[in-house]
């Protein structure tokens, strides 16, 4: 059955929403958990498709896992690793699973991990991962679509990344944990998820410093120095940015709870320039509101702490009805404007030339049938549908389910007219009648 999302737009969002654990962090923490023998427990783990895939990847290595939906916790018992192979059937579904390469190489001295292949938003090569592992002393061969890595001994060294790749930084951090001596990763990625991984590893007994800066130093430790831990994942800054965008775009007002505002500094500054009001209520609670037509702004995506590429599509959706002309430049991925044709179907005036998009604000968007091409493009279509006049239907929800936990419930809690259905459902009644759920009940479910 093909699931779809039906939205009646035009209503300002009001209420509050609590942000789940960071998808882009928890997946890497799950891979890192296999470094220590014994059971590690990770809290604040969202119930997402990507989390389920990563569980299957590490289970394929012989690791025992247990996910508790009620407590949002996952237990990973890596006392024994019985396989060094991460198969293509799973790695191809989610590129982030490639990070098990570094963890396997350093713990088991050998790994066979499928190449992740292409990606909807563009080519994401793994040559930085491979060159870094070779610099640490691993013997790498690529055969039949798999990376075969052998490393009887890894030795710390200086590694310079040509670009601050998040995945390469994380893979090399994991590989260097049990290397002999010190490893220095220069031009390292600085994302909050990198800091979260370093904090996790240090709690486990590793020696990592400099995370959050362009130079990370890992002093190798011995296997017996590592021990299982309990750890709580940071909130998802991209999910927070998504709900902020929806509230601002619909000229609403709401509280975003369980958020770390410092992770969204650059994004928040752009929202304020657009005309949004952002107020810190508590250290992890912000109030977001907007009562005017948005102003046009120019945006260039950059590695952290610059404007996040994962929020570029959300910004584009907001700017489709802004006053004036905005220019968005995507500097990180070549195919990350895949939401453009769908936004045009809703009446947006967007001219794209290679990695630049010129967005002329229109009076309003109109509801339409659209299809998500990837996770963040799908999120932008939800925001656009909430802004639009009339009814929209969004297809290919499996993309959105990869990164947003209970998203239709959370949007409904903000007052959105939104429902998930499949072609066999009886949706002859109006959406308003279909969505008569009290906020009190929704609050209990979040």
Residues catalogued as catalytic: 119
> Do 23 and 51 meet the contact criterion of CB atoms below 8 Å apart?
yes
How does DSSP classify residue 294? P
Residue 24 to residue 26: CA distance in whole angstroms: 6
Residues 6+ apart with CB under 8 A from 155: 136, 137, 179, 180, 181
- Single out the residue of 418, 340, 422 nearest to residue 382, CA to CA: 418
Residue 345 to residue 101: CA distance in whole angstroms: 42
Three-class secondary structure of residue 253 per DSSP: strand
How far the first Cα of the chain sits from its last, in Å, is 26
Q: Which helix (H) or strand (E) holds 9?
A: none
Residue with tokens 């060159």: 131
> Do 271 and 244 meet the contact criterion of CB atoms below 8 Å apart?
yes
Residue 257 to residue 280: CA distance in whole angstroms: 11
Measured N-to-C along each axis, helices 23-32 and 237-249 cross at an angle, to the nearest 10 degrees, of: 170
Residue 212 to residue 113: CA distance in whole angstroms: 28
Q: Cα–Cα–Cα angle for 267, 270, 273, nearest 5°?
A: 155
Residue 24 to residue 48: CA distance in whole angstroms: 11
> Do 391 and 34 meet the contact criterion of CB atoms below 8 Å apart?
no
Count of all residues that appear for the chain in the document: 446
Hey, what are 133's tokens? 């592992």
Task: Strands of 44-166 (E only): list them.
Answer: 64-68, 73-77, 85-86, 110-114, 139-143, 146-150, 158-160
Three-class secondary structure of residue 36 per DSSP: coil
Alpha helices of 235-300 — where are they, by DSSP H?
A: 237-249, 265-274
Residue 381 to residue 92: CA distance in whole angstroms: 25
What is the dihedral sign for C-alpha 302, 307, 310, 315? negative
């Amino acid at each position: 059955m093909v699931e779809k999302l039906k939205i009646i737009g035009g209503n300002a969002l009001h209420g509050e929403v609590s942000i789940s654990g960071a998808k882009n962090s928890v997946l890497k923490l799950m891979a890192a958990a296999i470094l220590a023998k014994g059971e590690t427990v990770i809290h604040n783990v969202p119930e997402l498709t990507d989390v389920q895939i990563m569980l299957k990847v590490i289970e394929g290595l012989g690791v025992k896992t247990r996910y508790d939906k009620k407590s949002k916790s996952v237990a990973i018992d890596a006392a024994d690793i019985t396989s060094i192979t991460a198969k293509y059937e799973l790695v191809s579904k989610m590129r982030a699973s490639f990070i098990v390469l570094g963890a396997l190489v350093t713990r088991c001295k050998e790994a066979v991990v499928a190449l992740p292949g292409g990606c909807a938003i563009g080519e994401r090569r793994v040559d930085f991962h491979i060159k870094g592992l070779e610099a640490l002393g691993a013997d790498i061969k690529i055969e039949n679509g798999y990376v075969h890595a052998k490393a009887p001994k890894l030795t710390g060294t200086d590694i310079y990344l040509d670009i601050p790749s998040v995945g390469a930084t994380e893979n090399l951090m994991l590989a260097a944990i049990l290397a002999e001596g010190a490893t220095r990763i220069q031009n390292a990625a600085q994302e909050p998820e990198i800091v979260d991984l370093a904090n996790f590893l240090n709690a486990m007994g590793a020696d990592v410093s400099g995370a959050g800066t362009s130079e990370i130093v890992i002093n190798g430790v011995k296997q017996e120095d590592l021990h299982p831990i309990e750890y709580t994942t940071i909130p998802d800054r991209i999910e927070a940015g998504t709900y902020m965008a929806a509230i601002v775009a619909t000229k609403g007002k709401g509280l975003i709870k369980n958020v770390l505002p410092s992770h969204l500094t650059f994004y928040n500054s752009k929202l304020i320039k657009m005309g949004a009001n952002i107020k810190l209520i508590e250290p992890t609670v912000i109030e977001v509101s907007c009562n005017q037509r948005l102003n046009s702004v120019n945006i260039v995506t950059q590695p952290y702490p610059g404007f996040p590429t994962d929020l570029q599509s959300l910004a584009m959706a907001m700017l489709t009805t802004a006053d004036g002309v905005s220019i968005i430049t995507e500097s990180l991925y070549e195919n990350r404007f895949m939401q453009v044709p769908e936004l045009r179907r809703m009446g947006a005036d967007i001219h794209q030339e290679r990695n630049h998009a010129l967005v002329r604000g229109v009076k309003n968007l109109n509801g339409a049938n659209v299809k998500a091409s990837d996770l963040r493009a799908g999120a932008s279509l939800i925001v656009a549908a909430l802004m639009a006049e009339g009814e929209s239907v969004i297809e290919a929800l499996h993309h959105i389910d990869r990164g947003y936990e209970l998203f239709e419930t959370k949007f409904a809690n903000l007052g959105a007219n939104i429902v998930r259905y499949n072609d066999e459902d009886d949706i002859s009644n109006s959406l308003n009648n279909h969505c008569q759920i009290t906020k009190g009940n929704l609050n209990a479910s979040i």
